[in-house]
Amino acid sequence: MRKIIKAKNIINGIADEVVKDKCIVIENGLISEIINFENFKPIDDDIIFNYENEFIMPGMVDVHVHLAFSGIPDNRSFRAESAELDYGEQALRGYEFALEHMSYGFTSLRDMNAPGKVAINIKNIINKKKLVGPNILACGLGLSVTGGHMDQPGWGSHVNFTNMTYPCDGPNEFVKGVRAQLKDGADFIKTNMCVSSTYNLEYPYRQEMSNEEIEAVCREAKMNNVKVASHTSGGPSITIAVKSGIHSVEHGHWLEEETINLMAEKNTFYVPTLLVNERNFDFEQDKNFTNSKNWKWLQLSREAKWLSLEKAIKSNIQIATGTDAGFMLPHGSMNYRELEYLTKGGMSNMQAIKAATQFGGKLLGINVGTIEVGQKADVLVIKGNPLNDIKILSDKENIIVFKDGFIFKKTHKMH
Ligand SMILES: [Zn+2]
């Protein structure tokens, strides 16, 4: 049985213009044909969906989420959640968050570190078709140096966490970290190569992993045919990371000219995560929330981020949308703001949509993100034109979500 989406207006994720009057044919969860209206010959049991006024676009991709975390902004509450919720609870809640992303049109996600195997478990249960959900790639535990960005200090010495992240020191331990994540079913490797620093605000970033550690991770990942994503902040160490072969630069507040040129040459992705940076400014400066040095850092990084984005757009770097949902912001409901910020940074609405579709799909390396034959039938029907106003994506009532050719509706109603 075929399903046909008969659409007047299609943003296919590739073309710069709206594609008109096509029938998107769906068979076995995939787009099997795209036919002009006049050439379409219906067969008996076709199910035809007619969309005359709506805009069709590919399901979107959020390449930077944390399904194990709720996004609660207060740091102490954030830490308490991690301490109090068992893995099973985190996974059940994370699955709910994944559905929340999907109801806002984000049908593919990349999880960037979750305790235990929480995100891997969510992914597996969806892939085994036991539960309905988005396509997920997961890194398992992020690899971090001891006391580094993801292995934060500040706990009592009697407190001991296991499997929150994977602390490694020295090239050999990083190699082991890569192997351990792959053994657990990770799809890619997440590291923290350089990080923010408030020690001396003249240098608001610093390298965290040594060159040898960076090279060891990239070498081992390459041998296993998986990609490396890295949390970065700024400075020349991003160049070292790109040279070593990382696939995506996350955050990257301060990108130097040399780094950008190298990223262009090596097709490295940039995931600017503008929303999480801007999100800090949704809150008044609150002494309990952040100290003055951190506040200054946020302002410096904000300035730098817009400049880096401008340079990256000019240099045609592949840019994908990642929100950091779960960290400082909720899952799904604010995702559209990442696209809005990309337009504020110089992209057209069409370019921002491509960042959230075509380039997100390319970054994940799976058949999503465009409306083309052979792609998964992850298709959105938008009640309105997002090329005129991205904000239309802020209301899930404006979005009908087809996942693998089926209409998805998140309901937990009791009847
Ligand atoms: Zn993150």
pLDDT in tens, 47-66: 999 999 999 999 999 999 99
Q: What is the pLDDT of residue 290?
A: 65
Over range 161-189, report the average pLDDT.
96
Over range 38-45, report the average pLDDT.
94
Q: How confident is the model at residue 75 (pLDDT cuts 50, 70, 90)?
A: confident
State the distance from the centre of ligand 1 to the C-alpha of 158, rounded, in angstroms. Answer: 27
Average pLDDT, the chain: 94
Long-range contact list for 206-211, CB < 8 A, 24+ apart?
206/233, 206/235, 206/237, 207/235, 207/237, 207/240, 208/144, 208/145, 208/148, 208/149, 209/145, 209/148, 209/174, 210/171, 211/240, 211/244
Over range 147-168, report the average pLDDT.
88
CA distance 332 to 101: 4
Over range 165-171, report the average pLDDT.
96
Q: What is the pLDDT of residue 53?
A: 96
Q: Does the structure show a pLDDT above 80 at 285?
A: no
Over range 118-124, report the average pLDDT.
98
Q: What is the pLDDT of residue 82?
A: 85
Taken as a whole, the chain contains a residue count of: 415
Q: What is the pLDDT of residue 228?
A: 98
Q: What is the pLDDT of residue 339?
A: 98
**Can you read off the two tokens belonging to residue 177?**
């970290």
State the distance from the centre of ligand 1 to the C-alpha of 64, rounded, in angstroms. Answer: 6
State the distance from the centre of ligand 1 to the C-alpha of 10, rounded, in angstroms. Answer: 32
Report how far Cα 104 is from the mean position of its chain's Cα atoms.
14
State the distance from the centre of ligand 1 to the C-alpha of 381, rounded, in angstroms. Answer: 29
Q: What is the pLDDT of residue 200?
A: 87
State the distance from the centre of ligand 1 to the C-alpha of 251, rounded, in angstroms. Answer: 8
Q: What is the pLDDT of residue 284?
A: 63
Q: Does the structure show a pLDDT above 90 at 364?
A: yes
CA distance 400 to 385: 14
What kind of architecture, by CATH, is found in domain 60-364? Alpha-Beta Barrel (3.20)
State the distance from the centre of ligand 1 to the C-alpha of 200, rounded, in angstroms. Answer: 24
State the distance from the centre of ligand 1 to the C-alpha of 385, rounded, in angstroms. Answer: 30
Q: What is the pLDDT of residue 289?
A: 59
What kind of architecture, by CATH, is found in domain 3-58+371-408? Roll (2.30)
Over range 241-248, report the average pLDDT.
96
Q: What is the pLDDT of residue 288?
A: 54
Q: Does the structure show a pLDDT above 90 at 281?
A: no
Q: How confident is the model at residue 76 (pLDDT cuts 50, 70, 90)?
A: confident
Q: Does the structure show a pLDDT above 80 at 370?
A: yes
State the distance from the centre of ligand 1 to the C-alpha of 171, rounded, in angstroms. Answer: 23
Spans of all domains in the chain: 3-58+371-408, 60-364
CA distance 211 to 171: 9
